[in-house]
């Protein structure tokens, strides 16, 4: 079979990126179908989407599905609807809640990609006889290696850092060589209603909502004190789980001087540490320990110099990696970095090539552990 006639199924989310991914594949001659993933059920997950008292208010997930149906109809491709609610709950959401319960700041989008979009979805596609899956991510691949997307402002390789070689090899990223304005232009040229639809934000498949109120459905709030590092009480917090290192908004601390920032946590004592000014010394570190390592690059021993991102859209940081044991890496960054946060991902790069991803466990300034 000619490569261009291979069967590909696109994860059609109802957004502009996945819609244009379909268009690019159709123009390239692939045999294209689409699948819409349903991964969150408000009726069983103790959460309300939309306004239950307004019969005209449709939950965002159903609106996305209707947009996906409209795209599939206009492009003349078959659309399947699949349900991964149970898998999402067991393999993504439980981890998300558990990490917040520990006072950490998880990144569920990374786990969602690994366990749902590129595992459950891929397995379903293979069972249905497709040769590849395709997603509307701003990333690229070269065989079984992952690369950054060309649009550096939209590059999503950070969120794909836990994919395996096998998952990458079976995935096509049709818009990885494009920039967002070009994607919207193509959607408009094809008369798609979603050409100007805003990008989705919020937690993967859960979306936008009052985050504190959402978490209260699953984790009891435990108010406590806000203190400076010298022990002065300056306010109270609603629960350590609601705050992340470097956070400025939502602290409700008045008074003169610079803005206040979260600079540390003591989960055991339920104390949130804060300081004034965004250049607080305690926000900076030059070393961290990472686990949950998904290494995609060539094996190495000793030290390896590369670059890293400790959060999405952060400017690359020069780092030096060395193995502590088979499950942990020490990451040194002599130029220091701000608000490196336990629970978040550290993703490693060699130019545009993704070397691997990991989870930040402990953060240090030299030999002093940060109270994160």
How do strand 260-266 and strand 303-309 relate by DSSP bridges?
A: unpaired
- The tokens for 118 are 């590129």
Spacing of C-alpha 187 from chain mean position: 25
The closest alpha carbon to 239, from 209, 216, 214, belongs to 216
The closest alpha carbon to 342, from 363, 326, 316, belongs to 363
Question: Residue 353 burial by CB count (10 A; 0-12/13-18/19+): exposed, middle or buried?
Answer: middle
Burial 28-62 (b: 16+ CB within 10 A, else e): eebbbbbbbbbbbeeeebeeebeeeeeeeeebbbe
> Residues 6 or more apart from 349 whose CB is under 8 A from it?
148, 306, 307, 308, 309, 316, 355
Q: How far apart are CA 206 and CA 353, in angstroms?
A: 30
Q: How far apart are CA 25 and CA 327, in angstroms?
A: 39
**Is 59 known to be catalytic?**
no
Query: Of how many residues is the chain composed?
Result: 372
Q: Are 126 and 321 in contact (CB under 8 A)?
A: no
Q: How far apart are CA 100 and CA 78, in angstroms?
A: 39
Tokens 């008045």 sit on residue: 254
Sign of the torsion formed by the C-alpha atoms of 356, 360, 361 and 362 = positive
**Is 112 known to be catalytic?**
yes
CA 290 vs CA 252, 274, 312, 352: distances in Å: 33, 25, 17, 21
Catalytic option among 22, 120, 161, 204: 204
Catalytic option among 112, 120, 161, 306: 112
Q: How far apart are CA 137 and CA 117, in angstroms?
A: 11
Radius of gyration of the chain (CA): 22
Q: Which residues are catalytic?
A: 112, 204
């Amino acid at each position: 079979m000619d490569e261009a006639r291979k069967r590909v199924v696109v994860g059609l989310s109802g957004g502009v990126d996945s819609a244009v991914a379909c268009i690019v594949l159709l123009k390239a001659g692939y045999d294209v179908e689409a699948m819409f993933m349903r991964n969150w059920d408000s009726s069983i997950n103790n959460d309300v989407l939309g306004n239950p008292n307004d019969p005209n208010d449709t939950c965002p997930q159903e609106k996305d599905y209707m947009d996906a149906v409209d795209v599939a109809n206009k492009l003349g491709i078959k659309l399947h609807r699949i349900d991964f609610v149970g898998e999402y709950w067991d393999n993504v959401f439980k981890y998300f809640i558990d990490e917040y319960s520990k006072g950490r700041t998880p990144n569920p989008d990374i786990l969602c990609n690994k366990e749902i979009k590129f595992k459950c979805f891929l397995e379903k596609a293979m069972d249905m006889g497709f040769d590849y899956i395709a997603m509307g991510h701003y990333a690229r691949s070269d065989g079984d290696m992952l690369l950054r997307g060309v649009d550096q402002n939209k590059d999503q390789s950070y969120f794909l850092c836990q994919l395996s070689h096998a998952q990458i090899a079976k995935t096509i990223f049709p818009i990885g060589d494009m920039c967002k304005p070009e994607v919207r232009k193509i959607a408009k040229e094809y008369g798609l209603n979603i050409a100007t639809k805003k990008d989705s934000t919020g937690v993967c498949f859960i979306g936008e909502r009052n985050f504190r109120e959402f978490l209260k459905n699953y984790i009891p709030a435990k108010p406590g004190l806000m203190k400076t590092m010298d022990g002065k009480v300056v306010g109270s917090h609603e629960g350590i789980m609601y705050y992340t290192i470097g956070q400025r908004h939502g602290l409700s601390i008045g008074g003169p001087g610079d803005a206040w920032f979260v600079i540390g946590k003591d989960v055991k004592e339920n104390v949130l540490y804060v300081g004034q000014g965004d250049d607080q010394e305690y926000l900076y570190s030059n070393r961290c320990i990472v686990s949950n390592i998904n290494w995609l690059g060539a094996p190495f021993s000793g030290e390896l110099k590369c670059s890293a991102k400790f959060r999405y859209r952060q400017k690359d940081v020069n780092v030096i990696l060395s193995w502590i044991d088979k499950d942990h890496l020490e990451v040194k960054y002599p130029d220091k970095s701000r608000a490196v946060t336990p629970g978040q991902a550290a993703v490693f790069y060699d130019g545009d090539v993704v070397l691997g991803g990991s989870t930040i466990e402990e953060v240090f300034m030299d030999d002093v552990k940060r109270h994160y």
